[in-house]
Structure 1
């Protein structure tokens, strides 16, 4: 009897499965479920590794346009309503992975091509599936660097290059008791009781920080470069806009966008959000820490 190769992972309290031979991915190892834990948490999706996808006509739906230096994802639709995702590490490069996804985003098949980075393709497929399958579960994949201090998590937001990781490193250097949770893609979760928690994930950008840990959210801070240090608490509407700008998701999927909107709306009303205009110095980290930890 041939046993099916299956790996079950648990992220932010939810499970997903990968079936079939997959590239070695050490970033996933901390999230691997032990056999006795495999039934814990709701199963979000199942991804099957396949040697090829069906040759069927596809209608283009959406292509990301994040610009040079960012991956490109082209989304199409099969006649049966399923979606096809084609992932390139950079615009103009060969497709490294193509995936067929059921209309409810709970079942998918992934073909890794021989021309691209297989590890990159697998992890991008998992990130996409996790974001889509959890859209109505109170989960958000955030583009953020997050530190833990005093039993709480502090998320630093901002456009690429504005200093999110730099500010985290300043906390690590100058604020005692600080630990990095994730440096690029933590999971922000609205809990059933209305509180918010932030979770480490298998995806952390260029910094290998893959921790299966979680803490209550202390604050969310948007970083803006400035020739001075100043921190401002945001009202709810501006907090919503700040959170939305850093939440992963494809707005053309209206039914998913509605789920993300409800989560963002609740988080903006309950989580302290700030803008920190700052220099990359110790004083900025001290100002931020003293403000967000004192409410």
Structure 2
């Protein structure tokens, strides 16, 4: 975790620099002491580096967060507004945040998305037991995905990792996506491009401006055409990880 001195330069407080998916954000509104208490940004903070983009929230964006999260804590509202802006700005760099956990096995990332309470974390735990000593969790809740210059989609760590705090500051080529549903018998189905597109879109934040929305739609179209997407009906038995892995590998 960063110490407070990391945010001082010649005795003056400087802006917070956060690196996500190899993109350096100069976040102008975060107060370092607030983030240090929470601790979750420590692995992504950078010092004295050139930044790629500034993140500055407006009063309207802060008010929107206040209404959305029903909070009167000004710092919380600033932070949530800035996070939303980071999410939307990622699209300018061929990247997006998805409500998905992801785990790396043999240098390939497997991403899992599910409705709240469906068992995404439980399924991740099955994979962790199956590949004990051979896996790395990329993120447990909100993975960043970025298309690189070679046309490969990468799963990237982020500080927004859920209550389990599963995260790693890594970038791993994506093997595939899987939408987890509850079932009595473990089985998987590969989606066609159209169904995959709508599944992916529904698991991402819809940006507030039309230009970025078009960018997101284009990017999701590319992902659905170039990365395998599955639906899996699974139970809580260890066999569930075997069935899904065999389908996706």
Category of TM-score, reference length = shorter chain: 0.7 to 0.9
User: Larger % of helix: which?
Assistant: 2
After superposition, the Cα gap between the structure-2 partners of 1:208 and 1:43, relative to the gap in structure 1 and judged at 3 Å, is: same
Partner of 2:40: 27
- Answering whether residue 134 of structure 2 is matched by residue 164 of structure 1, we say no
Aligned to 1:95: 72
Equivalents in 2 of 1:194, 1:279: separation in Å? 35
Q: Which of 1 and 2 has higher RCO (CA within 8 Å, sep 6+)?
A: 2
- Structure 1: gaps of 5 or more residues: 55-75, 77-82, 98-111, 113-117
**Bigger radius of gyration among the two:** 1
Q: Does 1:44 align with 2:57?
A: no
Distance 1:88 1:208, change over 3 A: farther
Aligned pair partner of 2:171 in 194, 214, 231: 214
Compute the displacement of 1:31 (Å): 0.8
Find the aligned partners of 1:246 and 1:44 in 2 and give their Cα distance: 25
Contact 2:55 / 2:85 at 8 angstroms: preserved in 1?
A: no
* 2:21 aligned with 1:8: no
Deviation at 1:90, TM superposition (A): 7.2
Greater CA drift, 220-229 or 130-139:
130-139
Unpaired stretches in structure 2, ≥5 consecutive residues: 1-9
Q: How many residues align?
A: 235
Residue 107 of structure 2 is aligned to residue 151 of structure 1? yes
- Matched with 2:139 is 182
Separation in 1, partners of 2:127, 2:102: 10
Q: 2:85 aligns with which of 108, 124, 129?
A: 129
Q: Which of residues 209, 223, 227 is equivalent to 2:184?
A: 227
TM-score, length-scaled by structure 2: 0.85
Inter-partner Cα distance in structure 1 for 2:185 and 2:195: 22
Question: Partners of 1:90 and 1:212 in 2: how far apart?
Answer: 29
Residue in structure 2 matched with residue 106 of structure 1 by the alignment: none
1:2 deviation in Å? Answer: 5.8
Q: Give 3-state SS (helix, strand or coil) of 1:142's partner.
A: strand
Return the offset for 1:241. Answer: 1.2
Distance, in Å, in 2 between the alignment partners of 1:184 and 1:259 is 23
In structure 2, do the counterparts of structure 1 residues 90 and 6 end up closer, same or farther at CA, with 3 Å as the change threshold? closer
Give the distance between the partners of 1:131 and 1:266, measured in 2 at CA: 19
